[in-house]
Structure 1
Amino acid sequence: MPRSASQRGDRDDEVDLLIDAWSRRLPDVDLTPLDVMSRLRRVANRLSRLRADAFSGAGLAAWEFDVLAALRREEPPHEFSPAQLIGATMIGSAAMTNRLDNLTRRGLVERRPNPRDGRSVLVRLTAEGATRVDHAMRLLAEREAEELRGLTREEQATLAALLRRLAHEG
């Protein structure tokens, strides 16, 4: 049975209220996993909005950031084959083609023939694409730091370690 807010020494939040309500309806079910997972879902939703706002501030959509960031992390000349981009972003081939068409049209990437294989192309980040994705990453880092301001560096490291374990065990 979940501990009440007074047992934890803090005040009730939405998750506490949700768990308390379900505990009354299903007293035989252990709802303690909701104590973590429901909060993770709420944080993930907030993070999604925060990321979208940061990317928007750089004139990018989240999907554009994902593709541009994959290219930017690659060593100069910041290029990948479409297949490598698909692997780096975990999206399908048709979606990648559409995304690359849009990014090319906006001047954020360029396609060029692959010198090792004349039948394929390489996708290269343009200077404008690099400027945009760097700006987006700076905004994201600032906003995420602001979100974490209530935690000490040690608490952040502990949380990161726990989340890393949870991600690998899932």
Structure 2
Amino acid sequence: MENRPKRSRTTRAATEPHQTAQVDTRHGDAVDDILAQWHRERPDLDVSPMGVIGRLKRCAALVQQQLDATFAEFDMSGWEFDMLATLRRSGAPYRLAPTALFSTLMVTSGTMTHRLQRLEARGWIARVANPDDARSTLVQLTAAGFALIERAVEAHVTNEHRMLAPLPKATLADIESGLRAWLHALEPKR
């Protein structure tokens, strides 16, 4: 194996000051270290997508840790929050058909059944008769479930604001726009 000269780890972020004093990007990150290793080992390979995907994955993992910590304050998991929030945002009377829930939350019907049983056991939802179809039931928030999700969603939004606060509004708008376009390109066409 031949010795190759080490490449400089200088990146654009390392040479240009960031526009806000709240975030210092001049020193690179763990993804820069990985990219530098690949540039050293495979200078023929364009590994630039690893920068985007790697940072996205690291951000997603770190964001998930922060979200989970907030949900834990309310003795709930992420999926419990998602189910209660889906019912809450559906509007009064805060009930949906199980099929609407599992298609919105992208889980199987078997998983949905198990999760509904757990939420019902905790007293956060109830299954009620469907007034439009006597053969089916609807899932509805109980008073306890409604009170819980009201508090939890406020803490959740506060947490999200806190996580995004270091970024300038223009950067957030660019991120949102870029992610929307990328999501549209990746999602199956309806």
Normalized per residue, the structure richer in helix is: 1
Amino acid aligned to 2:100? Q
Amino acid aligned to 1:19? L
Among candidates 11, 17, 27, match of residue 33 of structure 2 = 17
Question: Aligned equivalents of 1:65 and 1:80: distance in 2?
Answer: 16
User: Following superposition, which runs of at least 4 residues in structure 1 exceed 4 angstroms of deviation?
Assistant: none
Unmatched 5+ residue regions in structure 1?
none
Q: Deviations over 1:5-28 (max 9, x none)?
A: 354312221111110001111111
Question: Aligned equivalents of 2:8 and 2:170: distance in 1?
Answer: 25
Q: Deviations over 1:1-58 (max 9, x none)?
A: x984354312221111110001111111101111211111100001111111111112
Q: Name the Cα RMSD after superposition.
A: 1.6
Number of positions where the alignment pairs a residue of Structure 1 with one of Structure 2: 169
* 1:154 is aligned to 2:170: yes
Change (3 A) 1:82 1:24: same
Amino acid aligned to 2:10? A
* 1:63 is aligned to 2:68: no
Q: What secondary structure, in the 3-state scheme, does the structure 2 residue paired with 1:91 have?
A: coil
**Which TM-score applies when normalising by structure 1?**
0.93
Whether the 8 Å contact between 1:58 and 1:133 is mirrored in structure 2 is no
Among candidates 76, 86, 98, match of residue 114 of structure 2 = 98
Percent identity between the aligned chains?
33
**Which TM-score applies when normalising by structure 2?**
0.83
Whether the 8 Å contact between 1:59 and 1:132 is mirrored in structure 2 is no
Structure with the greater alpha carbon radius of gyration = 2
Unmatched 5+ residue regions in structure 2?
1-6, 16-25
